[in-house]
Amino acid sequence: MIRFTSILAGFLLLPVQPIAAQTSNYALIVSSASGNSEFKEKFWNWSSQMMQVLKDEMRIPRENIVLLTEDPSQNAALVNGKATKAELAKAFDGLVAKVPADGRLLVLLIGHGSFDGIDYKFNLVGPDATGTEFQNWLDRFEKRQVVLVSSTPCSGVLTKTLSRSGRIVITATKSEFESNDTIFGQFFIDAFKNKAADTDKNSEVSMLEAYLYAAQRVEAWYKEQGRLATEHPLLEDSGDAKGVARPSPANGEGLLAAKVSLHAPSTALATTGGASPELQALGAEKQRLEGAIQDLKYKKATLPEAEYNPQMESLLIQLAQTNQKMNAARKK
């Protein structure tokens, strides 16, 4: 009988060549009203960087990305419209009609946010958009997968109002009362450009990896500056409306985020050297097994060891065999 530890060690030595899920990815980036030239430049830099990451790194088609900024004249080729409530509502209308049933939408809010004692407000040109309005806009996507990332002050309250089953909510702050300017947005964007964020070395950065990288960099930044941290990022993806700083199987957060990547299928297929029907089928099986392994990890606390270990051993053996078959298929 092959020992469980031997299987695990052998699995970890196998080269990982990912094939992304055949999911259509869409994105809405909204840069808030700035208030002064310093913030205007910073918010534009973050917005344009994320646009380039989505197009160049994730290979998401330009027509699948909507960018709204305070001043569209900064780059008419990149910007779709002005960051007003009317334009934002229009953008959601268009995306609801466009994102397919199996599609995924990233909504990234960059800039200033506030809390009026009742509701979150995202600062736009003209009237602000409230947390309640975002709730109504996002609920229109029903079972389509939504990832909401708010890099603004006071955003922590959104983990309570926007939490839904099958949705990922990432915020720069832990509550509505952390109202100072944030730096989380820059590190979140950097995660998709820095290989260090890809901790499982599968050539993709999942939402969980991006969050953890950004959260760790935020904490390190405040220490380096010798400043008391005024922002504490949270992630919520279980639907319980309770964000956590460190997602793990112990607290039940991070399972969905670990599975979600914005990398387009074409990106992954390029790394495989071709996408024959056999390789596509093996890639799909690989993803199924990786998902099952993640699911089982999150059930470990509730399963007897005598039940958990055989199940994990079986899955790891199947995954190792699938990886071997994929390597052989590439050589044909």
- In this prediction, residues 282-302 reach a mean pLDDT of 80
Neighbour-count burial for 289-321, b at 16+ CB within 10 Å, e otherwise: bbebbbebebeeeeeeeeebeeebbebbbbbbe
Q: Which DSSP state fits 206?
A: B
Residue with the bigger pLDDT between 1 and 300: it is 300
Q: What is the pLDDT of residue 295?
A: 79
In the chain, where the domains are located: 25-262, 273-330
> Helices 131-139 and 85-98, interaxial angle, to 10°?
20
Range of weakest confidence among 160-164, 256-260, 272-276, 280-284: 272-276
What six digits make up the tokens of 78?
């990149």
pLDDT tens digits along 126-144: 999 999 999 999 999 998 9
**How confident is the model at residue 302, as a pLDDT?**
75
Which pLDDT belongs to residue 16? 36
Mean pLDDT of the residues in the chain: 87
Among the residue ranges 51-55, 107-111, 173-177, 274-278, the one predicted with the least confidence is 274-278
CATH class in words for 25-262: alpha beta
Give the mean model confidence (pLDDT) for residues 85-93.
98
Confidence of residue 311 (pLDDT cuts 50, 70, 90): confident
Whether 56 shows a pLDDT value over 70: the answer reads: yes
User: For residues 61 and 19, which has the higher predicted lDDT (pLDDT)?
Assistant: 61
Q: Copy the structure tokens of residue 299.
A: 């059930």
User: Model confidence over 194-242: pLDDT tens digits?
Assistant: 888 988 777 889 999 999 999 999 999 999 999 999 999 999 999 999 9
What pLDDT was estimated at residue 266?
A: 40
Span 2-21, mean pLDDT?
Answer: 39
